């Protein structure tokens, strides 16, 4: 397999959470180079040239996002590192934070310099207690070395990082929900416009980037944009972390080039299906994206290829389901999550997520009707594209795709037939 970049800690005996050992591996050279050899705009251009696309879910081009920060507004600019990682099936950022936090700090310092920001925040999911401790220590160590604080690396620049812990709501990962939460308010996503790049945290220009995105930045500076572009498809390249979970032998986070075939990730990286089971379906990008049937999984895992297959790369949370899975039960579980996590601001999302779950409980309990299936699809349809943030779409897309792709199973449930997956389950168990 390829050299690991983001998960370099797996290839070295060094403890990369220890700053001395990290420095021993060439740590902070990329940052020194960025701050002493580049102008901020040069860095923005370099990242643009690398074609780095955001790893938080939407795949927005990072360099382009940075270029939206207005100059000379007289207001401070903020960089927020989104470490809220709450999308079901997603657990990659945690790996970076817990094992190689300094590569993230480097990415943050470089990005901060590029957008002329002096204060950056890492908004970390509240449950990640270890990650929080690791980051606090890493920041203190970096500050002691003069990499953070005033006159970083002997320059005139001041850059500092604060860590802020969330309190357990999925919606805090949505960038404007995150901003509100960081300001000490309820995480109600904001209506846009204005966009955060113009009016973000504390009313100031703000860039929000995912942990993995920022970690990539460090490596782009270190190895160049051509190197980055050489990994996977040129339009959205780079090393990529894939979170494989579900009915595979070795669930876990795997680093592989962008565009690695999905079947490779399941069969080679994650060790294949559990003994005696066959692949039934895969959700390729975290619970929010449309599901793929087994026969649709011969695809490459990059933004454009997955989109072409009718789903999304999203957070690269690959949820693998085998033939013991009841699709009605699986969808009910997913829908329960969105019902629980909707912030409740927008009418369609607040009321729709609850309605979806109530319908699925009925269908799953064997008292659903044909009409319920129709209503389910139409409720989901009515939630899409009508709300402040895309959580409503994230709740609706799985519903619509499960219904479209596993219609027979849903119909069998409302006809009161025994759940076929249960039967398989009994046989294999």
Partner 1 sequence: MPSITINDVTIEVPDGTNVIQAAEMSGQEIAHYCYHPGLSVAGNCRMCLVEIKALSSKQPNGLPKLQIGCNTIVQDGMVIESENEKVRDARRGVLEFLLINHPIDCPICDQAGECKLQEYYIDYGGHDSRFELKSKTEKHKAVAIGPGVMLDQERCILCTRCVRFLEEVTETHELTIHERGDHSELSLAHGKSVDNPYAANIVDICPVGALTSREFRFEARVWYLQSTPSVCTGCSTGCNIEVHSRAGSIYRVKPRSNFEVNDYWMCDYGRAIFSDNGRADRLLSSLSRESGGFVNARFEDAALRSARALQSEPGPIAVVASADLSLEEGFLLGEIAEQLGGGLKIITSPASSEFCDDGFLISEDRHPNRQGLLALGYVEARRLHKSVNRLLVARDNPAAGEESWDAYLESAGATIVISDNFDETTAYADHVIAVGSHFESDGTFMNGKGRVQRFAKAVDAPTGAVEGWRALGYVLGALGGTRYESAEEVFTALAARHLGLSGIGYDALGNDGVQSGVSAQWAGASVPLDAAALDR
Applying CB under 6 A, the residues found at the interface with ligand SF4 are 171, 189, 342-346, 349-350, 387-389, 391-392
CB 401 within 8 A of CB 189: no
Q: Quick one: which of 17, 50, 103, 213 contacts ligand FMN (CB under 6 A)?
A: 213
Among 19, 84, 283, 353, binds ligand FMN (CB under 6 A): 84
Q: Which residue, 180 or 255, has its beta carbon nearer to ligand SF4? A: 180
Q: Which residues are registered as beta bridge partners of 75?
A: none
3-state SS assignment for residue 94: helix
302 lines the binding site for ligand FMN (CB under 6 A):
no
**Among positions 390, 395, 397, 403, the unique one binding ligand FMN when judged by CB under 6 A:** 390
- When binding is defined by CB under 8 A, the residue of 354, 404, 412, 425 that contacts partner 1 is 354
- Containing 108, the helix (H) or strand (E) segment is helix 101-114
The DSSP result for 125-171, as a single string, is -TT-HHHHHHHHHHHHHHHHTTSSBSSGGGSS--BEEEEEE--S-GG
Residue 312 engages ligand FMN in binding (rule: CB under 6 A): no
Residue 1 token pair: 């397999």
Query: Which region, judged by CB under 6 A, interacts with ligand FMN, from 99-107, 140-148, 217-225, 390-398?
Result: 390-398
Contacting residues for 304 by C-beta, under 8 A, at least 6 apart: 233, 235, 236
70: contact with partner 1 by CB under 8 A: no
Distance CA 139, CA 301 (A): 34
Candidate list 27, 40, 57, 63; residue touching ligand FMN; CB under 6 A: 57
User: In 10 A of CB 190, how many CB atoms?
Assistant: 19
Find all residues with CB under 8 Å of 133, minimum gap 6, and list them. Answer: none
**Residue 208 makes contact with ligand FMN by CB under 6 A:** yes
Q: Is the torsion defined by CA of 409, 407, 88, 188 positive or negative?
A: negative
Residues 384-403 that bind partner 1 (CB under 8 A): 385-388
Residue 191 interacts with, from ligand SF4, partner 1, ligand FMN, none (CB under 5-8 Å by kind):
partner 1
Residue 386 engages ligand FMN in binding (rule: CB under 6 A): no
Specify the 3-state DSSP secondary structure of 302.
Answer: coil
How far apart, in Å, are the Cα atoms of 400 and each of 109, 265, 410, 419? 42, 26, 12, 20
- Can the peptide bond before residue 396 be classed as cis, meaning omega within 30 degrees of 0? no
- Asked whether position 69 contacts ligand FMN by CB under 6 A, the answer is no
Nearer to partner 1, 73 or 347 (CB): 347
Exposed/middle/buried for 144, CB within 10 Å: 0-12, 13-18, 19+? exposed
3-state secondary structure of 300: strand
86 lines the binding site for partner 1 (CB under 8 A):
no
Residue of 27, 56, 107, 368 interacting with ligand FMN (CB under 6 A): 56
Helix (H) or strand (E) holding 106: helix 101-114
Which of residues 37, 39, 41, 60 is near ligand FMN by CB under 6 A? 60
Q: Which of 137, 186, 268, 405 binds partner 1 (CB under 8 A)?
A: 186
Residue 302 near partner 1 by CB under 8 A: no
Residue 264 binds to partner 1 (criterion: CB under 8 A): no
**Does residue number 176 form part of the binding site for partner 1 (CB under 8 A)?**
no
User: Which residue stretch of 98-106, 227-235, 249-257, 341-349 sits at the interface with partner 1 (rule: CB under 8 A)?
Assistant: 341-349
Taking the complex as a whole, the smallest distance from the CB of residue 36 to ligand FMN amounts, in Å, to 25
Least separation, in Å, of the C-beta of 85 and ligand FMN? 5
At a CB cut-off of 8 Å and minimum separation 6, what does 28 contact?
A: 22, 102, 106, 142, 145, 147
Cβ closest to ligand SF4, residue 174 vs residue 409: 174
Q: Using CB under 6 A as the criterion, which residues of the chain lie in contact with ligand FMN when the complex forms?
A: 54-58, 60, 65, 82, 84-87, 170-171, 173-175, 208-210, 213, 389-391, 394
Note the residues at the interface with partner 1 (CB under 8 A).
169, 171, 186, 191, 193, 339-348, 350-355, 358, 371, 375, 382, 385-388
């Amino acid at each position: 397999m390829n050299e690991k970049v983001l998960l370099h800690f797996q290839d070295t005996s060094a403890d990369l959470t220890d700053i001395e050992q990290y420095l021993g591996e060439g740590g902070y050279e990329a940052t020194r180079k960025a701050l002493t050899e580049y102008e901020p705009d040069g860095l923005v251009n370099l990242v643009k040239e690398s074609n780095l696309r955001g790893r938080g879910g939407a795949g927005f081009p990072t360099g382009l996002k940075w270029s939206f920060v207005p100059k000379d507004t007289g207001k401070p600019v903020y960089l927020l590192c989104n470490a809220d990682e709450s999308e079901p099936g997603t657990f990659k950022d945690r790996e970076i934070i817990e094992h190689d936090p300094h590569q993230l700090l480097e990415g943050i310092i470089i990005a901060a310099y590029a957008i002329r920001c002096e204060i950056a925040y890492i908004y970390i999911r509240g449950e990640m207690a270890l990650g929080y401790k690791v980051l606090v220590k890493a920041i203190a160590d970096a500050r002691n070395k003069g990499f953070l604080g005033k006159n970083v690396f002997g320059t005139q620049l001041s850059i500092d990082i604060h860590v802020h812990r969330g309190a357990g709501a999925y919606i805090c990962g949505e960038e404007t929900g995150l901003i509100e939460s960081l300001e000490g308010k309820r995480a109600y996503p904001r209506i846009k416009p204005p966009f955060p790049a113009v009016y973000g945290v504390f009313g100031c220009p703000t860039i929000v980037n995912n942990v993995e995105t920022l970690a990539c930045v460090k490596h782009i500076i270190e190895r160049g944009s051509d190197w980055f572009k050489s990994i996977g498809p040129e339009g959205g390249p780079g090393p990529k972390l894939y979170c494989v979970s579900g009915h595979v032998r070795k669930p876990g986070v795997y680093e592989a080039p962008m565009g690695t075939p999905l079947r490779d990730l399941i069969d080679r990286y994650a060790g294949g299906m559990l003994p005696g089971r066959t692949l039934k379906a895969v959700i390729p990008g975290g619970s929010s994206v449309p599901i793929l049937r087994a026969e649709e999984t011969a695809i490459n895992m990059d933004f454009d290829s997955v989109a072409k297959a009718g789903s999304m790369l999203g957070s690269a949370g690959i949820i693998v389901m085998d033939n013991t899975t009841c699709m009605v039960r699986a969808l009910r579980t997913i829908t329960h999550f969105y019902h629980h996590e909707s912030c409740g601001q927008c009418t369609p999302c607040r009321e729709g997520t609850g309605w979806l779950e109530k319908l699925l409980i009925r269908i799953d309990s064997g008292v659903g009707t044909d009409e319920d299936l129709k209503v389910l699809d139409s409720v989901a349809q009515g939630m899409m594209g009508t709300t402040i943030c895309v959580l409503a779409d994230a709740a609706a897309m799985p519903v619509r795709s499960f219904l479209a792709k596993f219609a027979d199973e849903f119909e069998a449930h409302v006809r009161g037939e025994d759940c076929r997956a249960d039967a398989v389950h009994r046989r294999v168990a």
